[in-house]
Structures are given as structure tokens and as C-alpha cells.
Structure 1
Amino acid sequence: MKKLWSEVEQEFFDNLDVKVRSKMTYRRQLNVFKVWIVTTGRNINSLKRSDILAYKSHLISQGKEAATIDTYLTILRLFYQFIEEYGYGENIAADIKYKRKAKGYRKEHLTQEEVNKLLNSIDRNKIIGLRDYTMVFLMLTTGLRCTEVNNLSVCDLQKEDGYNYLLVKRKGYDQKSTKFGITQHLADMITDYLTQRGVEEDNEPMFPSRFHERMKDMSVSRHICQLMRNAGIESKKKTAHSLRHTAAVRAIEANVPIRQVQIMLGHTDVKTTELYIGSIDAEMRLRNPVVQVLEEIALNGKETGK
């Protein structure tokens, strides 16, 4: 490398056009790599491609998930691409990736029985319970993410030309720019909750903490997971994100056109939406209705028509 690592690193982050949170994540991931370099006695200013491959092997040996390993390698690919483009050295991390498992969602959707258990387990006689019920029902019927729900303020419930909608800040956007249509029933449910809670300012969080402050996104996620555990839903593959997953799967099972589901979920690429179909296929393979039909034919001696 023609310049010291520390100098190139600072220049790299100065020119990296990403959000502050993403930049912090990249810095943290690159620091993990630097610590590994030091602990293994390598010279950070004269690394070779074999060193990047050795780091990849180290991550694999730690038993990290495929997606996690690839994110740690992503920052190295970006960094060394920058090094090559600015003429500071060779891109020794080019095309070094971790082969992920077959694409699909790692989280599972809730069954109808689990949806009923979750909703019925929430005590709506208390204002906190009414908040939780409204928030969970909203996520189950709209597919909104935890962060999108948490960003909602009282004033974001609006009506235009007879249509009720929420003004939503979509993932990856800096402002609330999406008018997300909702049913009259859901609008009435939210209004009833806000009325019983008592609202003083329009900019108050729609679903605040017990201390009337906006919750952190992770706090919302953890709280929903606790509600699920309280309802007897115990599974590492069923988390707060499963509510969004459930909304998508239910819509697809109800034969809603995939394009409409894509719009609801806010996916830029329909291929992302189509991944939810895999969840339906997995459940279909488990129930395997074809086997049941074939067994019925075998037991009753019926023959299939040609």
C-alpha cells in the first residue's frame, strides 16, 4: 500500500456516502478485522489476498452465521475497492464472499392459532395493553416494520378524499413520505386508543413507552417478543419481525396479487417479496396434502381420471 492504513482508512470513511449509523457499523466491523490482524502478528500495511482469505476462515471457524460473515467481508471489499480506485494499492479482497445458504427468510410467520393466542393474551382493560394490542394488530394487518411503527406520531393518522392513511417513514428514507392506506376499522381502533390514552400534542409518539417517550426500535422488538412469550409462542425463529412476515404470507395465501403485496411491504424489488412464497411452500411440504389425496385413493381403491 502506497499510504499508511490509518491515512487511507480516514479518507475512505470521509468519502463513504452512507448514513451515519451505517458508517458506524462499518467502522466497528473494520475494527474487528484490525484487531485480528494485530493478534495474528500480521503487518496491516503489507497484507496479501491470502490474509483476507485467512480472516474469512477465522470468521467461519467462530461459527458465525453466513449472513454475518458476508457483512464483515463486505466492508473489506468496499475498502480495498477504494484503495484500488484511488491508486493506493491492489484490491486484494475482490470477489471474496461467503457463499450463503439458499435464499429465504430466517424468521417464520405465525400460524392462525398463534395469532389468536397473541391477540387474546393482551389485556385491553389497561391503557398499556390497549397500546400493545393496537400496535400488534397494526403490524399483523399492514406488515409495517418495528422501526416504521415506532416512528409514527399522533399526527401521522390522516384522511384524504375519504381514505384513511398513515404517513410512514419507510426503511432507508430520511423523511415520512409514504401515504400508507389503512381500513376504517384500523383507523377507528387507533383513534379509540389515542382517545383513551389522552393526547396533548400532535407530535407525541403514537405508541410511547410507559414514560410517554418514543421507544427505541430494539425496545419495541424486545417488547413484542415478550408479548409472544407471554402468549406461549416460544421459538427462536419467531420474533417481532414474524408479524410482518405473517402479514405477507396471509396476503399471498389469500391470492392478493404479488405486486400489491410488494407495495404494502415497501419492497423495491418484487424478488424480495417473492421470498415469502418459500415460507408458504415450506408449510405446504409439511402438511403435504398430495400424500393425503394419494392415501385416500389407495385405501378406497379409486383411480384417477385421465
Structure 2
Amino acid sequence: MERTLAEFIAYLHTTKNTSNNTEISYQRDLKKLIRYLDGQNIHDFAEVTSLDLKGYLSELKSENLASSTISRNIASIRALFQYLFKEGRVTADPSEELKPPKVEKKMPEILSVQEVDRLLKQPNINTAKGLRDSAMLELLYATGMRVSELIHLQVSDLNLQFGYVICHDTDKERIIPIGNVSKRALAEYMEHGRDYFVKNKNEKSLFTNCSGRSMSRQGFWKVLKGYAEAAGIYRDITPHTLRHSFAVHMLQNGADIKSVQEMLGHSDISSTQIYLGMNVAKMRDVYMKAHPRH
């Protein structure tokens, strides 16, 4: 079964163009399933029945896992068996009857404009590290891009002359405008900061760590945490918090939801509509323009 799992992950990567994080998630979930099946003396996916899978879900529920975690496990199992059925490795799909539990949608954590302003003022722009960190934070808030998209940006994706960045999302790309504050921060970083880290002239990554290699998610998360504490923001914020805050602040200032959807890269507008219920009109008269730092 381990070999079949490896073949499934390879299929996701080469045929479905899934992200590394998605593949890691599938692998983790399905390895746990395999351990359970081994304990039930089942060593071939072709032997698995819907009753076996329901027994596995009962065990997951007994662990008091979150509904979202159980739903993700079900999605992983269904994807695997759909692949096996399509490949003719199983004669029937035992996962068809699995139904995910209802997941209560939580409202995302949002920073106020004042909190964002304090956060973005924390980097010491008299240092190369501060210039890099300021450019990253300003760009993340200016565009609402995902942190995975931010750290995979290349120098060629940035166009300071016309004020936009090309953002890559799996097999798609989108062009997002950047405002003057972010544009200035990026220009300062490119002129006075990046060469401090990057010694290899062939390095294409826009943002690197202190060793001159591409910045990691964990590396940026630590950077953000440090500045959040320095700004007196003690909530559990993540890079995605700036993405959520970008969306809400744009809508609060009159940006239309379709434009925000396109900037965020949401394929379904329903994913963007969650922000509409978050006091959209409350601060409309506070700002002069659609984005508070433009």
C-alpha cells in the first residue's frame, strides 16, 4: 500500500499539478489510514470496504479531532480511491458513501488599519534585513497574496516601473497592482538591501534568507511573529491574517468584490463574499482611497 500511495502522490504532482503542501497533507492523512488498515489485517486497497472506512472515521472522531481535520481526511481518502478506481485497481469505490461532517466557518482574524500601520512600521529600514522585511510585509498587505506566492516570487515577476507584480498560483498567474508605499519599499530593498543577502548572481528569488537562498514559509512566519509582538499585537496572527485584512480593508473603502476576488485569486466568488459581512461600511469615511496605504 505504501508503494501505491507513492504512485498516487506522483500522479497528483505530475498530472494534477498539486502544490507541495497539498501533497504533504495527502501523504500524512493516507499514511495514517494505512496504519489503521494494517492493524485490521488489510494490506491491499482492493480489499477495503465502505465498512472499513467508516470504522476508520469512527476512530478519528474518537480522537476528538476538529471537523475540518476529519473533512480533510475524507477528501484525501476519496481522492485516493477515485484514482484507484479510474486506474482499474479497485472494482468499486468504497469511499463514495463517506460524508464529511459539517464544518463551522469561523470568521477570519482581522487586524485594524491602526494595527497594520504599527506592524508595518516595525522593521528598521536602516538595515538590509529591515529593508527586506519591510518590502515583504508591505507587498503582502498591498496585494493580499498568499505567503506561498510571496516567497516564490522571482525578481522578474516585479515591475516597479508600471507598479505591478505577477503572482503565480499553481498553473495560473495573475497581475496585481501595488501601491506607492509598497513600491517605494520594494525599490529601497532592491537598491540597498537584496545584494547584502544574495551573493550568487544567478539567484532568481526576489526574497531570500540571510544565506541568500529563497525565503521559507517558516522563516517568514518567524519574521512576522517578531514584528507583531514588537507592535504590541498579541493575537495569534499568521501571514494569512494580512491577506484577510487586505480584503476587508479594500471592501471597507469601496472596492468592488469582483476586483478583490481577482486580486486574491479566488476561483469562486463565494470565497470572497465571507468578507462582506465583516463591518464593511463601518470605516468607509475614514479613508480617502480604496487602499489605506496608497
Query: TM-score range with shorter-chain normalisation?
Result: 0.7 to 0.9
What residue in structure 2 maps to residue 262 of structure 1?
261
Tell me which of 178, 190, 193 is aligned to 2:189: 193
Cα gap change, 1:9 to 1:215, in 2 (>3 Å) = closer
- 1:215 matches 2:211: no
What is the distance in 1 between the residues matched to 2:41 and 2:59?
A: 14
> How do 1:86-235 residues align onto structure 2 when only pairs under 5 Å count?
86=88, 88-105=90-107, 107-158=108-159, 163-169=162-168, 171-173=169-171, 177-197=173-193, 199=195, 201=201, 203-235=203-235
What is the distance in 2 between the residues matched to 1:61 and 1:165?
A: 49
Moved more, 94-103 or 251-260: 94-103
Query: Residue 134 of structure 2 contacts residue 185 of structure 2 at CA under 8 Å; is this kept in 1?
Result: no
What is the distance in 1 between the residues matched to 2:10 and 2:126?
A: 53
What is the distance in 2 between the residues matched to 1:268 and 1:166?
A: 19
Q: Secondary structure at the match of 1:178?
A: strand
Cα gap change, 1:118 to 1:167, in 2 (>3 Å) = same
Query: Residue 144 of structure 2 contacts residue 264 of structure 2 at CA under 8 Å; is this kept in 1?
Result: yes
CA deviations over 1:181-204 (Å, ceiling 9, x no partner): 223443232112221225474854
Q: TM-score, normalised by structure 2?
A: 0.80
Which amino acid in the other structure matches residue 274 of structure 1? Answer: Q
Q: Secondary structure at the match of 2:159?
A: strand
- 1:27 matches 2:21: no
Cα gap change, 1:134 to 1:24, in 2 (>3 Å) = closer
Which amino acid in the other structure matches residue 220 of structure 1? Answer: F
Q: Which has the larger radius of gyration?
A: 1
CA deviations over 1:46-79 (Å, ceiling 9, x no partner): 3332221121121122232222211211122123
What residue in structure 1 maps to residue 80 of structure 2?
79
Query: Residue 152 of structure 2 contacts residue 205 of structure 2 at CA under 8 Å; is this kept in 1?
Result: yes
Percent sequence identity is 24
Q: Secondary structure at the match of 2:211?
A: coil
Which amino acid in the other structure matches residue 176 of structure 2? Answer: F
| Aligned residue-pair number | 272
What is the distance in 2 between the residues matched to 1:202 and 1:108?
A: 39
CA deviations over 1:226-248 (Å, ceiling 9, x no partner): 32133222223x21110011000
What residue in structure 2 maps to residue 276 of structure 1?
275
What is the distance in 1 between the residues matched to 2:230 and 2:171?
A: 34
Query: Residue 147 of structure 1 contacts residue 217 of structure 1 at CA under 8 Å; is this kept in 2?
Result: yes
Cα gap change, 1:232 to 1:97, in 2 (>3 Å) = farther
Q: Which runs of 5+ in 1 are unaligned?
A: 285-306
What residue in structure 2 maps to residue 43 of structure 1?
42
Q: CA deviation at 1:38?
A: 2.3
What is the distance in 2 between the residues matched to 1:204 and 1:13?
A: 28
- 1:52 matches 2:53: yes
Q: CA deviation at 1:6?
A: 6.6
What is the distance in 1 between the residues matched to 2:158 and 2:9?
A: 39
What is the distance in 2 between the residues matched to 1:19 and 1:89?
A: 26
Query: Residue 104 of structure 1 contacts residue 275 of structure 1 at CA under 8 Å; is this kept in 2?
Result: no
Q: CA deviation at 1:209?
A: 1.0
Q: Which runs of 5+ in 2 are unaligned?
A: 283-294
What residue in structure 2 maps to residue 246 of structure 1?
245
Query: Residue 157 of structure 1 contacts residue 187 of structure 1 at CA under 8 Å; is this kept in 2?
Result: no
Query: Residue 154 of structure 1 contacts residue 203 of structure 1 at CA under 8 Å; is this kept in 2?
Result: no
Cα gap change, 1:90 to 1:8, in 2 (>3 Å) = farther
Cα gap change, 1:134 to 1:44, in 2 (>3 Å) = same
Which amino acid in the other structure matches residue 94 of structure 2? Answer: I
Which amino acid in the other structure matches residue 216 of structure 1? Answer: S
Moved more, 42-51 or 58-67: 42-51
CA RMSD for the aligned pairs?
A: 2.9
